Amino acid sequence: MNPTNALTNRDALFIAGEWNVSTDREWLEIENPATQEIIGRVPLAREVDVESAVAAAVRLDNSGQWRNTELSERAKALNSIADAIERRASDFEAMYTMDQGGTAAFASFTAATAAAIFRDTALLAEQLDLGPTRRDTLTGSVYVSREAVGPVAAIVPWNAPLVLAAVKIAPALIAGCPVIVKVSPETPLISFIFAEVLAEVGLPAGLISFLPGSRELGQFLISRPGIKNISFTGSTLAGKKVMATASERMTRVTLELGGKSAALVLDDAEPAEFAPMLAYGCTMQAGQVCTTQSRILVPAARREEWITALTSAFGELVVGDPADQNTGVGPLVSGTQRDRVERFVETALKDGATVLTGGRRPVGEMFERGYWYEPTLLTGTTPDMQINREEVFGPVITVEAYDDLAAGIATVNDTEFGLSNGIFTPDIDRALALAPQLESGAVAINSFGPNITAPFGGYKMSGVGREGGIEGIQEFLETKQVNLPQGI
């Protein structure tokens, strides 16, 4: 078997730290979204696998083996995981391109970021106060301690299967919690490499499981009595269902959900300098990112300059083979996703929008197979149109003008979402002064998305809780008070 076949054809699932082989499973064929070629197959988890993984996690948690391990030892394990990720970087990058259609130019970011998440979380262990810490108050004295919440169900989306798994696993492990990862069937291959990495490190049995499967399998997982925390990344609609299920047992949740973020371009930003940056950043990973700045707002006094510059910049983006380092925009992950994007554009045009560039499937022999859609820039939209209200999750961006800064800020905030807006200006101090006025959990200055090793999450319908940083670790900890007798 050649190396590619070894990475794309799997016959076992990683459950409770062991590879479990079974012939009594359904199998999922893996399709390369750039070519529609079947490149392999993997087994899908069943409810019995969920039960096995949860039972093992509960046993480990009850034993205290991991949660009572010294923080310094847990930190060493995280650093070992980071080392192992770096050793397998080329495999992670290959699967990002083949399984997801992500570009080779961006692939190195995924493995490097995942390793950085584990290293950064290990460093944070030095700042983590688990107690018991005495506090003297006006009404008496207490000891405060923080304890691992227990087994965690981590639901990871298809668009960032390595990085977002790392964001959930690393803080849970440092907090002392076992983790069961529900893997999206759209892009499952990276999870098998990740499991090999964790097996290599040598962690306690029951600490980690990876279960590829449907949304229904994920729903079954989060409903198990042994699950004490749910960490979910996905759409707002799905997040509501997760929260409803969690409410039945008052299970703790962290929800990182959808967005409809904006890029607020200030009047001192030069189109020639900033338009290429915006075109690249807004179409990163073909727009299949929850923090995509899918609305570009430019000052009305310079509207025509910006329309010309952005149209040119979007038109120069290279659409093509994701394995080619020169490609800027690869395919969408699936035919379903492309159909969704096309429906959004069709509706926008019916509502009165105008296509500046893109708005169709690319033409050419290499695009006859695969799930391609051109980077698309629309104008003539209004804030109430569907294209500006809902998350497209594709390379479709609107550009509109604002009359004054107050109106621009109001338009940025005129959405039920609040994930990660951007401000573009050469004056960083000015951007810092404006950032508090934008209603989002992250604000990027002349860049895109949050720093994933610092606390991030959403306002409004974009989520509950925070991932990253000390705050991300605290999501997996319960706080306990021990009240002392008076006078002690």
- Whole-number Cα distances in Å, 383 to 95, 126, 379: 38, 46, 11
Q: What's the rounded Cα separation, in Å, for the pair 299 and 277?
A: 17
Question: Tokens 């554009």 correspond to what residue?
Answer: 345
Q: Which two tokens stand for residue 324?
A: 């080619």
Q: Is 64 exposed, middle or buried (0-12, 13-18, 19+ CB in 10 A)?
A: exposed
- Cβ-proximal residues to 220 (8 Å cutoff; 6+ apart), any chain: 47, 50
Is 177 among the residues known to form the active site?
A: no
Instruction: Indicate which residue of 31, 177, 282, 290 is catalytic.
Output: 290
Q: What's the rounded Cα separation, in Å, for the pair 332 and 330?
A: 7
Contact criterion met (CB below 8 Å) for 316 and 473: no
429-454 core/surface letters (b: 16 or more CB in 10 A; e: else):
eebeebeeebbbbbbbebebbbebbe
Q: Which of 52, 18, 14, 60 is nearest to 177 (CA)?
A: 60
Instruction: Indicate which residue of 31, 93, 186, 256 is catalytic.
Output: 256
DSSP structural state of residue 453: T
Is 290 among the residues known to form the active site?
A: yes
Q: Which residues are designated catalytic?
A: 256, 290
